[in-house]
Amino acid sequence: MIQSLANWILSFDILAGLGNPIAWGLSLFIVSALIFVFVAVNAIVLVYIERKVSAFMQVRLGPMRVGKFGSLQTVADALKLLQKEDIIPRSADKILFLIGPWVILVASVVTFAAIPFSDTLLAADMSIGLFYVVSISSIVVLGIVMAGWASNNKWSLYGAMRSAAQIISYEIPVGITLIAVVAVVGSLNLQTIVQAQGGTGNLFYWIPLPLPNWFIFHSPFLFLAAFIYLIGATAEINRTPFDIPESESELVAGFMTEFSGLRWALFFLSEYANATLVAFLVAIIFLGGWQSPFSNYAGAQIGFSILTLLAVMWTLFVKAKTQRLSFYPLGLSLMITIAAWLFPGFAIWLASPGLFWMLIKVGSVIFLLMWFRWTFPRLRVDQLMYVSWKVILPISLFNLMGVAVWMWLTGEIHF
């Protein structure tokens, strides 16, 4: 991606004299600046969406004042944070207090280097991409402990220690579920992992239900692994129901208590960057990444027809019982279906892989994370440890063995 951008820069007559190294460096700067802008804008948009989704789930309106439907609320919030006084407590450990938030932010931005957004949009095509992402994203815990300890505040210290214990406990099951996927692909390269999920096949190899070759449909074990990964990842990014490190009702704000202004915004930014990263990983590893769910244009037409049928049934049988009838899902899927049948070009576009599908999948996973937040109550610390060490870890170990045996049964490997 960087080399092709450099070639594009060199293709202009005025810029051709720059030479390849300078053009390459320039495009590296552009790409990294774009990724940072993506992370920042993404956080601002996600905060707004999260507030709106929470509001609708609680039958409220949410932010409505700033901009149309409150759409500029988070921009206003960011500007407010910019004007806040930068306070470092007198008794804090100054150096660690300053470094902590930066470690978290840089660690969460750097992981995006290895994430394939589409078949061409990828900054660094690392051969150990998955391992890199997993290892770098766990540096975040260092920053959290730094920030919490340096604050010299009891709330912060409790939050940081809880967070560290939680993140390292859930790291193990997450790692083992990822190993199950790596065993199926035989590569740690994220691009190879996505490419291995192309085409259409049977559900769980034997059940004759034509579904895309995504790893979530590969075997019952990987189906379970996807859920284990989602649970573990939710815990690793400290989101509800695993948000005891910053639970407002008992620890004020956990390790962020002493931080104010932009320094606090760094935590916020990296929190949403991490949520997005987890959504990207779920999409890449279990949901086929940038692959389209349809193998050809007829598949897209039929698939969207089935989707419309489901939307009709949803509207008739589920939504009709409630007072508030919403026709948006029905209308949207009906429009796409009609367009897909009328214009074969549109259907072909739907069936082709690309950034569009990646973002759809990532958006769905992020919505799922928001849904979790308003569905499950917060866990207690001992319950959290119980789930991690006594439930998820044995299941994931069993899962890994199960995947190996499944591969032998379906003839993917021969002994």
Nearer to other proteins, 113 or 307 (CB): 113
Least CB distance to other proteins at residue 377 (A): 18
Least CB distance to other proteins at residue 85 (A): 5
What are the structure tokens assigned to 86, written together? 């930068």
Nearer to other proteins, 275 or 347 (CB): 275
How many CA atoms lie within 13 Å of 403's alpha carbon, on the beta-carbon side? 26
CA distance 167 to 138: 8
Least CB distance to other proteins at residue 319 (A): 43
Nearer to other proteins, 349 or 389 (CB): 389
Nearer to other proteins, 118 or 192 (CB): 192
**Packing angle of the helix pair 328-342, 344-351 (nearest 10 deg):** 110
Nearer to other proteins, 53 or 393 (CB): 393
Nearest residue to 270 (alpha-carbon basis) of 230, 238, 228: 238
**Packing angle of the helix pair 129-137, 154-185 (nearest 10 deg):** 170
Asked if residues 105 and 270 have their Cβ atoms less than 8 Å apart, the reply is yes
Nearest residue to 259 (alpha-carbon basis) of 137, 85, 106, 77: 85
Nearer to other proteins, 49 or 165 (CB): 165
- Cα of first residue to Cα of last residue in the chain, in angstroms, is 40
Q: Which residues contact 245 (CB under 8 A, 6 or more apart)?
A: 144, 159, 160, 162, 163, 166, 238, 251, 254, 255
CA distance 63 to 67: 9
Least CB distance to other proteins at residue 315 (A): 44
Nearest residue to 235 (alpha-carbon basis) of 158, 130, 162, 139: 162
Least CB distance to other proteins at residue 383 (A): 8
Least CB distance to other proteins at residue 159 (A): 12
Least CB distance to other proteins at residue 158 (A): 9
